[in-house]
Structure 1
């Protein structure tokens, strides 16, 4: 009998892609729909590997699942996995670090244009029987703006490509990026403070770390231009949403487009009643093509581990 691979939680309609990839090691694939560590322990039993989307995998999971050899995370972030426990119990962790650059960059551009052109406001007013171009005032041009990237990795670089026709000045704060990346995209590397002071548009692409948690707080919004727009397609907890709501309400910045929030899904948010804030449900990663790529990639790497082959996307912490 082959290895048992358990999908702890999934928003996908089936496990067809996973089964196809894991057939290479004669694995059985089962979805248990476990949204807590306790349910994973109860239902995963003798699993050899887990495929995981959002459920927290705590030390207790590693302690209880004696036969566990690998965990595959659907996506880039691995904040929900206890890496100390994974290392202690010699469990390989893999993710999918590169699969949706085009989708996220396109979504960031869509949020930017929606904020700049006040599309949701116009849409709501027209459907309510109003017909007045002045409802969106003031609206500026995208060309000539200064765009500041907080982190300048693959997604930010793809976003820079999409912005290339708008004749903008590009800045980036990324102390971990190479000088050649900035040169290739004609981006000026600056400090975070200088980026905030000079940017008309600030777009966030950084991972969530102790350094970036609540990076955008009351002091940062005080420094931003009153016409500035904030875009966040990275991690929700990088932005203090209460501080952002206050800044929007007080006119300290002009708009914000967020695909991520600190708690997902949110039961409430100070941004809900603000038309200057455009919110989408962590969907920037999604297209049919990217979803298939994501699922096949992580399942393929789990198959490698189960077959005794080094995985392509091992997570090292």
Structure 2
């Protein structure tokens, strides 16, 4: 009986269906808590002699792959695979899978929640009510007629754009790989210059790390907001901190940061920053879909079949 280790913390949280898929395939399933997801030595020890692993943010690099020679499949419980060394996995003959499209609507909802919360300064209003301060000390802004700039027009970017149209916003986008006649494609510089809200939906790659830097931030309007539900490292956070503290942009809504949990981040000290704990994909619906796809990917690979969604 092949063994599968589950490290993804939220796997099968909303439903037992994903676990049942694994068990019905007669796989030995071990759920293990990972106290140090960035530590490959710890990750390798948890995987041990398993042939399959389902991961969340757990780091899978060459150290893990060399120490776990039985490993045949790494299934990401999610979409982004920047925590997995794809080249090393390919060299070691280990299949890497993910679950694209399963969290699209959930993340798009969260991006729009942050847009609306920034526009109306929702956290401050809630805090004032708790302090028994009634009324408004600051005016919000309407979304009607505002420009939303989307960086990365994949599944999630398109879903955010669809929501924006419902609010009467104008949508522009930057994506070097996608051409969509439904929206106006512009350069990255033009997007940051014209947008009232910039929403990031690009994958993290060596080319996109710190994509949002001092130069791009300097192009933003003084009353513009930056939204990130993709990956924290897309933003140079030191440059963002300066721009926010100096009032060069109005605010930011961030579900992801470079280091998580970010309790020591200076961004948390700023009143014009909304931070949520990397929960954009955390809905019941997304959890079920993500878990089932991850489980099916593992089952198919261990049966010698092609997975539903293969990365390498």
- Whether the TM-score (by the shorter chain) exceeds 0.5 is yes
For 1:42 and 1:273, how far apart are their aligned partners in 2? 37
Gap runs ≥5 in structure 1: none
Could you tell me how far 1:19 is from its partner in structure 2? 2.8
Q: 1:295 aligns with which of 291, 297, 304?
A: 291
For 2:61 and 2:148, how far apart are their aligned partners in 1? 39
Q: Give the alignment of 1:196-235 within 5 angstroms.
A: 196-235=192-231
Question: Is the 8 Å Cα contact of residues 122 and 136 (structure 1) preserved in structure 2?
Answer: no
Question: Is the 8 Å Cα contact of residues 78 and 103 (structure 2) preserved in structure 1?
Answer: no
Gap runs ≥5 in structure 2: none
Aligned residues: 308
TM-score, length basis structure 1: 0.92
Corresponding residue of 1:6: 5
Could you tell me how far 1:270 is from its partner in structure 2? 1.4
Question: Is the 8 Å Cα contact of residues 241 and 266 (structure 2) preserved in structure 1?
Answer: yes
The yes-or-no answer on 1:17 pairing with 2:17 is: yes
Question: Is the 8 Å Cα contact of residues 18 and 29 (structure 1) preserved in structure 2?
Answer: no
Question: Is the 8 Å Cα contact of residues 25 and 307 (structure 1) preserved in structure 2?
Answer: no
Structure 1 pair 168–54 and aligned structure 2 pair: CA distance change class (3 A) = closer
Could you tell me how far 1:13 is from its partner in structure 2? 7.1
Q: Give the alignment of 1:16-55 within 5 angstroms.
A: 16-34=16-34, 35=36, 36-55=39-58
SS at match of 1:29: strand
For 1:255 and 1:287, how far apart are their aligned partners in 2? 26
For 2:168 and 2:45, how far apart are their aligned partners in 1? 57
SS at match of 1:149: strand
Could you tell me how far 1:303 is from its partner in structure 2? 0.2
Question: Is the 8 Å Cα contact of residues 256 and 276 (structure 1) preserved in structure 2?
Answer: yes
Question: Is the 8 Å Cα contact of residues 19 and 28 (structure 1) preserved in structure 2?
Answer: no
For 1:302 and 1:265, how far apart are their aligned partners in 2? 29
Corresponding residue of 2:119: 116
The yes-or-no answer on 1:91 pairing with 2:94 is: yes
Question: Is the 8 Å Cα contact of residues 98 and 310 (structure 2) preserved in structure 1?
Answer: yes
SS at match of 2:53: strand
For 1:39 and 1:249, how far apart are their aligned partners in 2? 38
Question: Is the 8 Å Cα contact of residues 25 and 306 (structure 1) preserved in structure 2?
Answer: no
> Cα deviations across residues 186-221 of structure 1 (Å, max 9, x unaligned)?
x11010011111111111100112222111122222
Q: Give the alignment of 1:165-176 within 5 angstroms.
A: 165-176=166-177
Question: Is the 8 Å Cα contact of residues 24 and 303 (structure 1) preserved in structure 2?
Answer: no
What is the CA RMSD across the aligned residues, in angstroms? 1.7
For 2:170 and 2:234, how far apart are their aligned partners in 1? 24
Corresponding residue of 2:148: 147
Could you tell me how far 1:153 is from its partner in structure 2? 0.9
SS at match of 1:297: helix
After the TM superposition, which of the residue ranges 225-234 and 124-133 deviates more from structure 2? 124-133
Corresponding residue of 2:247: 251
For 1:54 and 1:128, how far apart are their aligned partners in 2? 37
- Segments ≥4 residues shifted beyond 6 Å: none
SS at match of 1:163: helix
Corresponding residue of 2:305: 309
Could you tell me how far 1:77 is from its partner in structure 2? 1.2
For 1:277 and 1:162, how far apart are their aligned partners in 2? 22
